[in-house]
Amino acid sequence: MSRPVPNPGILDIAPYTPGKTPVPEPGRKVFKLSANETPFGPSPKAIEAFKRVADHLEDYPEGTSRVLREAIGRSFGLDPNRIICGAGSDEILNLLAHTYLGQGDEAISTNHGFLVYPIATMAVGARNVIAEETNLTCNVDAILKVVTPKTKLVWLANPNNPTGTYIPFDEVKRLRAGLPSHVLLVLDAAYCDYVSRNDYEMGIELVATTENTVVTHTFSKIHGLAALRVGWMFGPEHIIDAVNRIRGPFNVSTPAMYAAVAAIEDTGHQGMSKQFTETWRNWLTEEITKLGLRVTPSVANFVLIHFPTDNGRTSDDADAFLTKRGLVLRALKNYGLPHSLRMTIGTEEANRLVVDALREFMAGK
Ligand SMILES: *Cc1c(COP(=O)(O)O)cnc(C)c1O
């Protein structure tokens, strides 16, 4: 008997394997350091705004997320008409794939890039083309080398997840200049708020001065609103127009919208979080390196820790050892990093516990 058949490409997508549910020893407090969530939660003002809206859950949201686009516009100095909001930036990435990719097309991402990119690409029947990184960092020449006449889109998280590395804005501009003008460059700036490097830019200038570049951003990381699913994109007018035609008319909920407005206006909360992250990122990098483990220099709110391959010292061993103590990091086999664990920077207590546990682990206890 015949049965429904998924579109071409769908069954080529590796099934998503979520991080395993932690089973710590009884009585252990659990620290989830596996999803790059902020240890601080959102601004208290965002929680207030969310609760205020709870009295009117019967009403559909305002369909264009106007109040949020205006707040983002004020915060970044952007024209709100060139912003689209979405249910997380994941939705926006998928909308871009639906708008610009189809069967026979190719989209490029890097070999340790964010896994949503290949999924979004393959879900619409396009081919996912991999460009090799150098030292776990985007290599612009490697991307340019795999461009073919079929290339329609390039996905680039800057900084990248899960590596924590970034490329300077000059390199992003060189990438743009080297790509054919019909190729859409998607700059995913999910972690831009954590970067303090003079040569880094999230890419707004490039969007403003070209017809083929967009920047996406999220409220899930420094703003601490991952549960609400809010992201946004800044793009050229013609791209905003095209994507708006397929966007669900009520894709951002009212509570999410108003919480996000309050969050983006609380610059004090963001500043505190950024400062804390920087301090503990430096501390963790230094302390973990002292234990004889390699840590990739990160500019984001997580660090990538590399483990040896000898028996008893592998990343699997470390993962089990840490999990027993309630310290849940992210294994990265499906990101092509079988010997590494990604640790989201947590509270001071969590960070110290991880270093103490890793010290014991390396001492063979
Ligand atoms: C976390 C993350 C996002 C944000 O996704 P949302 O759907 O907005 O929660 C986007 N890109 C990268 C690279 C991320 O790590």
In order, the DSSP letters of 162-184 are TT-----HHHHHHHHHHS-TTSE
Residue 12 falls within a domain, yes or no? no
Return the closest-CA partner of residue 219 out of 162, 260, 266.
260
| Ligand 1 atom with least separation from CA of 160 | 13
Per-residue confidence (pLDDT) for residue 115, from 0 to 100? 93
Tell me the CA distances in angstroms from 39 to 22, 91, 99, one per residue in order: 18, 24, 35
Same domain, 258 and 292: no
Question: For residues 350 and 316, what is the distance between their CA atoms, to the nearest angstrom?
Answer: 20
How far is the centre of ligand 1, averaged over its atoms, from the C-alpha of 208 (Å)?
A: 23
Residue 292 lies in a domain: yes
Check which CATH number belongs to the domain holding 347 and give it.
3.90.1150.10
- Residue 61 pLDDT: 97
Say if CB 108 and CB 146 are below 8 A apart. yes
Q: Which atom of ligand 1 is nearest to the CA of 226?
A: 9
- Res 24 pLDDT > 90: no
CA dist 86 and 294 (Å) reads 37
| Single residue among 221, 241, 265 that ends a domain in this structure | 265
Ligand 1 lined by 201 (C-beta under 6 Å): no
293: containing domain? 19-41+268-363
Determine, yes or no, domain membership for 324: yes
Residue 231 in contact with ligand 1 by CB distance below 6 A: yes
Residues 193 and 239 in one domain: yes
Query: Do 95 and 198 fall within a single domain?
Result: yes
Answer yes or no: is 123 within a domain. yes
287 C-beta closer than 6 A to ligand 1 = no
Which ligand 1 atom sits closest to the C-alpha of 90?
7
Q: Is 46 in the pocket of ligand 1 (CB under 6 A)?
A: no
Closest CA to 235 of 214, 217, 218, 216: 214
Atom of ligand 1 nearest to the CA of 91: 7
Question: Looking at residues 45-74, what average pLDDT do you find?
Answer: 97
Furthest CA-CA distance within the chain: 63
* Predicted local confidence at residue 1, as pLDDT: 83
Same-domain status, 261 and 273:
no
32 with 123, same domain? no
Helix axes 348-362, 267-290, angle to 10 degrees: 10
pLDDT at 19: 60
Question: Does residue 50 sit in the same domain as residue 87?
Answer: yes
Whether residue 200 lies inside any domain: the answer is yes
Are 37 and 55 in the same domain?
no
Last residue of a domain, one of 265, 282, 311: 265
pLDDT in tens, 181-224: 999 999 999 999 999 999 999 999 999 999 999 999 999 999 99
Query: CA of 56: how far to CAs of 49, 59, 262, in Å?
Result: 12, 6, 18
CA gyration radius, the chain: 21
- What is the arithmetic mean of pLDDT over 116-140? 97
Residue 292: per-residue pLDDT = 96
In a domain, 7, yes or no: no
pLDDT at 365 exceeding the cut of 70:
no
- Helix (H) or strand (E) holding 352, with range, is helix 348-362
226 CB under 6 A from ligand 1?
Answer: yes
Instruction: Determine how β-strand 231-234 pairs with β-strand 213-218.
Output: antiparallel
Does 304 share its domain with 261?
A: no
**157 C-beta closer than 6 A to ligand 1:** yes
Q: Domain end: 244, 265, 286, which one?
A: 265
Q: 331 falls in which pLDDT band (50, 70, 90)? A: very high
Mean pLDDT for 116-139 is 97
> Does 27 have pLDDT greater than 90?
no
pTM for this one?
0.96
Rounded to the nearest angstrom, the distance between the alpha carbon of 220 and the centre of ligand 1 is: 7
Number of folded domains that form the chain: 2
Whether residue 318 sits in one domain with residue 259: no
Query: Do 56 and 114 sit in the same domain of this protein?
Result: yes
Ligand 1 contacts CB of residue 115 (under 6 A): no
